[in-house]
Amino acid sequence: MKAIVPVERITSKIYLIRKQKVMLDRDLAELYGVETRVLNQAVTRNIERFPDDFMFELKRDEIGRISQIVISSGLKYSKRVRVFTEQGVAMLSSVLNSHRAIQVNIQIMRAFTQLRQMLTMSKELTKKLSELEANLKDHDEKISLIFDAIRQLMAPPEKSKIKIGFTVKEKQKSYKKGPKKK
């Protein structure tokens, strides 16, 4: 079955705000094929389904920061911008009952899952890179020792100060042996 909305399009609309992955009400309304006003009215009618960890409103400074990133007409001038966490998006499916909303919601859940998997893979990759870096550091020290030993072998030998052979001593004192005493 072909997806109504490609996962890539959905993932491009997921933002990190207040250390949470969220989607803007405008983006969700566009994906569901409804007006933002209609989506927010449905949420307001069912507000008890959307606690703070499911949905929250952005402050003015947050809207300003988001509007620099998001190319959305009028976002900067909006009085109210709601954002929905993954659980909030899942709850929207119970508020919006259209066939399209259900299909898009399934795709959004898949997008969040895909992001989670990518994050997990990223953490694993970071861990493996750290381990590799530690191993290479150990190898670098050993390789450095090997190169030092090779350089010592390649260096010309120092001239020996010790002469090899016999040396003539100048006068040797001779001691006469006298008769042995008994």
**180 vs 91, residue with greater confidence:** 91
Domains identified in the chain, total number? 1
Among 20-29, 43-52, 77-86, the least confident range: 77-86
144 domain-assigned: no
| Per-residue confidence band for 171, with pLDDT thresholds at 50, 70 and 90 | low
Q: Is the pLDDT of residue 165 over 90?
A: no
Taking only Cα atoms into account, the Rg of the chain, rounded to an integer number of angstroms, comes to 40
Which ranges constitute the DSSP H helices of 77-171? 86-95, 99-154
181 domain-assigned: no
Indicate the helix (H) or strand (E) that contains 11. Answer: helix 7-11
Among 3-7, 59-63, 96-100, the least confident range: 3-7
Q: What are phi and psi of 141, to 5 degrees?
A: -65, -40
35 domain-assigned: yes
Task: Give the model's pLDDT for residue 91.
Answer: 87
- Find the CATH number of the domain harbouring 89: 3.10.260
63 domain-assigned: yes
155 domain-assigned: no
Q: Is the pLDDT of residue 84 over 90?
A: yes
Print the domain residue range for 58. 7-127
